[in-house]
Structure 1
Amino acid sequence: MALAKPPVQDNAYTAALALLDRVPLIDGHNDLPYVIRKDRNAKGDVAAYGLDKVHPQVDTDIPRMQAGKLAGQFFAAYVPPNQPNPAGFALAQIALMRSILKQHDDVFRPGLSADDVEAAKAEGRIALFMTIENGSALENELDALDAYYDLGVRLMTLCHNDTTDWCDSATDAPRHDGLSSFGMRVVRRMNRLGMVVDLAHVAPKAMHDVLDVTRAPVFWSHSNAFSLCDHPRNVPDDVLDRVPGNGGVVMATFVPDFISQASRDWHRPAKDQYGKTPDTMDYAKVEAEIVAKAGPRPQATVSQYCDHLDYLAKRIGHDHVGIGSDFFGWVNPDGLEDTSTFPNVIAELIRRGWSEENLAKLAGGNTLRVLRAVEAEAD
């Protein structure tokens, strides 16, 4: 993976940098902990990985996070759907993130509340929020949520690409007609703790079930608009229309197949009926066959990404839109190659006429509002 291309050096880009000097920028989802865990040399050792150096083969490291003007970053303890020991794996990923905080305390501070983002911004640091991506990490024990919260976890994505024992996934066969009764208890306990409920990866019916149950605003930490790109991971209009009533935030993601319908269609031969690559598939072989038949992969762009932001802002309002990159060391759109490129989003929206007030909401203001609302609803 190459480093980001030089940005368009115009007045809009200069204004974007100036804006991000004044207001906090928060990214709702990044899988760096899993990248470090799977790195063939580091194997989960933060010191061996060398986070303070540029890693051009992936997309996230300290120099490029700082260049991207981040003030808050949600890092995921991603638990693969087929992980045989999901709780243990989640705990190992939490330990890895705590190691990042310890070894790079000059760059990161613990993100435990909205106030930590504003403090980090003032200090020139980044508030590191720990999240769990996949509720299988509970192993069906409700009290595990309390333990994760005490370890510093402030958000949980209810499922991943597979349906769990209590939550239907957007990319798997449904088993619960949305959320089971235990799943509803999970949402209520997260409300009580002050932990953000994240509906990325969740089936639309389960989204509706959560919106019926939750007493706090929710996140979609890395999802786009289904009307612009029909990937099942994107949010359909009937769900979007309920977001303002909940007060939540849809954090648009950089994943090309969620941005570009052409990219989504190009990949269909490598996906099952639910939009994911089967575990038994030789993906490299299938992709080579797609290239031979259909030509190179269509490239998503920062402009197409901003089309989703425009759509969301018009559909649900500027108070309910955020940014959730989902950087995980894979193919990224033109103009959004790595964590140094967040200002490109702001610059493109300036060119489209977005006001400074609405840009500040997008960058981090909406996320901070939800965090404070979730904190206020906690017992």
Structure 2
Amino acid sequence: MALATPPVQDNAYAAALALLDRAPLIDGHNDLPYVIRLDRTAKGDVGLYDLTKVHEKGDTDIPRMQAGKLAAQFFAAYVPPKQRNPAGFALAQIALMRDILKRHADVFRPGLSAADVLAAKAEGRIALFMTIENGTALDGELDALDAYFDLGVRLMTLCHNDSHDWCDSATDAPRNNGLSAFGQQVIGRMNRLGMVVDLAHVSPKVMHDTLDVTRAPVVWSHSNAFSLCDHPRNVPDDVLDRVAGNGGVVMATFVPDFISQASRDWHRPAKDQYGKSPEGIDHVKVEADLAAKAGPKPKATLTQYCDHLDYLAKRIGHDHVGIGSDFFGWINPDGLEDTSVFPALVAELIRRGWSEGDLEKLAGGNTLRVLRAVEAAAG
């Protein structure tokens, strides 16, 4: 994986750097903990992975996070859909993130509330928010949410690429006709605790079901606009039209197949009917085979990504758009290669005429508002 493309050094880029010096930048989703778990050398050992050096074959490390001017990063305790011991796996990933906090206390502070984002910004550190990606981590026990919250988890993505006992996925056959009765209890408990409900990965029916019952704003931590790219993980217009009423935020993601319709179409022969890759495939071989048949893979770009931001801002308002990179150690769009690229992203939007106030909302202001609202709704 190449390092980020050198940014265009113009007035817009200088203005972007200045804006991010004063306004907190929050990224809503990053899979670094899973990357460390899968790394052949580190095998989950944070010390062996060494976050202090630039990982040229990855996309996330301390030098590039600092260059990207992050004030807060939401890291995921991702639980694979078919994991046999989902709760234990989630706990292991939480332990890994807590180890990052211990080893690098000079860089990160625990992210437990909106106040921690502003404190981290003032200190020149990064607030590390722990999340769970996949509600199978509850193992069917509602009270597990309380335990995860006490460990520091502040957001949960309800499912991943497979439907499970109480929540239907956007990329699998439905099992519950949306959100089950237990799933509704999960939303209620998360509201009571002050844990953010994340609707990335869920089916449109679950999106609507959750919006019907939640008493706090929700987020889509890494999803784009379905109207611009028809991947099932993206948010359809009829759901987008309810976001402002909820007060939530759609955090646009860097995943190429969620940005570029051409990239999505090129990959389609290797996906199942629900838009996901079969388990255990060799992605490198699959892409080589596709290239032999269909020609070079179309690239997703920073420009196309900003088209999604423009669309979302126009459809749901600048108060409801954020950033959720979903960096996961794989192929990223041109111009969005790693965690150093956020100033270049802001610069592109400045060139498109975004106001300073709207850029501050996108960077972190909207997510801060959601965090405060979720905290206020707790209890």
The interval holding the TM-score normalised by the smaller chain is over 0.9
1:143 is matched with 143
1:166 is matched with 166
5 Å matches for 1:216-295? 216-279=216-279, 281-295=281-295
The CA deviation at 1:314 is: 0.2
1:352 is matched with 352
The CA deviation at 1:280 is: 5.2
Per-residue CA shift, 1:238-286, capped at 9, x if unaligned? Answer: 0000000000000000000000000000000110000000115444333
Per-residue CA shift, 1:36-62, capped at 9, x if unaligned? Answer: 011000011101110011000000000
- Alignment partner of 1:203 is 2:203: yes
Distance 1:74 1:64 in 2: 16
- Alignment partner of 1:71 is 2:80: no
- Alignment partner of 1:316 is 2:302: no
TM-score normalized by the length of structure 2: 0.99
Q: Give 3-state SS (helix, strand or coil) of 2:58's partner.
A: coil
1:109 is matched with 109
- Alignment partner of 1:122 is 2:122: yes
TM-score normalized by the length of structure 1: 0.99
1:18 is matched with 18
- Alignment partner of 1:374 is 2:357: no
Distance 2:14 2:181 in 1: 51
The CA deviation at 1:234 is: 0.1
Distance 2:36 2:286 in 1: 27
Q: Give 3-state SS (helix, strand or coil) of 1:242's partner.
A: helix
Per-residue CA shift, 1:116-146, capped at 9, x if unaligned? Answer: 0000000000000000000000001000000
The CA deviation at 1:289 is: 1.9
The CA deviation at 1:70 is: 0.1
In the TM superposition, structure 1's runs of 4+ consecutive aligned residues that sit over 6 Å from their partners are none
Q: Give 3-state SS (helix, strand or coil) of 2:290's partner.
A: helix
- Alignment partner of 1:55 is 2:55: yes
Distance 1:84 1:116 in 2: 35
The CA deviation at 1:287 is: 2.0
The CA deviation at 1:106 is: 0.2
User: Is the contact made by 1:74 and 1:130 (CA closer than 8 Å) also made in structure 2?
Assistant: yes
1:31 is matched with 31
What is the one-letter code of the residue matched to 1:174? P
Distance 1:280 1:63 in 2: 32
1:303 is matched with 303
Q: Give 3-state SS (helix, strand or coil) of 2:106's partner.
A: coil
Distance 2:282 2:158 in 1: 28
Per-residue CA shift, 1:130-188, capped at 9, x if unaligned? Answer: 00000000001000000000000000000000001000000000011100000000000
Q: Give 3-state SS (helix, strand or coil) of 2:70's partner.
A: coil
1:340 is matched with 340
User: Is the contact made by 1:59 and 1:329 (CA closer than 8 Å) also made in structure 2?
Assistant: yes
CA RMSD of aligned residues (A): 0.7
Distance 2:323 2:314 in 1: 16
Structure 1 segments unaligned to the other structure (5+ residues): none
Distance 1:162 1:180 in 2: 15
What is the one-letter code of the residue matched to 2:145? L
- Alignment partner of 1:329 is 2:329: yes
Q: Give 3-state SS (helix, strand or coil) of 1:29's partner.
A: strand
The CA deviation at 1:2 is: 1.1
Distance 2:250 2:200 in 1: 9
Distance 1:43 1:247 in 2: 40
Per-residue CA shift, 1:325-357, capped at 9, x if unaligned? Answer: 000000001110000001111000000000000
1:89 is matched with 89
Distance 2:311 2:171 in 1: 23
What is the one-letter code of the residue matched to 2:321? V
Distance 1:264 1:142 in 2: 37
User: Is the contact made by 1:81 and 1:161 (CA closer than 8 Å) also made in structure 2?
Assistant: yes
The CA deviation at 1:363 is: 0.1
What is the one-letter code of the residue matched to 1:195? M
Q: Give 3-state SS (helix, strand or coil) of 1:141's partner.
A: coil
User: Is the contact made by 1:168 and 1:179 (CA closer than 8 Å) also made in structure 2?
Assistant: yes
Q: How many residues align?
A: 379
**Identical aligned residues as a percent:** 84
Distance 1:343 1:184 in 2: 39
Distance 2:279 2:40 in 1: 21
Moved more, 289-298 or 118-127: 289-298
What is the one-letter code of the residue matched to 1:376? A
What is the one-letter code of the residue matched to 1:141? E
2:80 is matched with 80
- Alignment partner of 1:43 is 2:43: yes
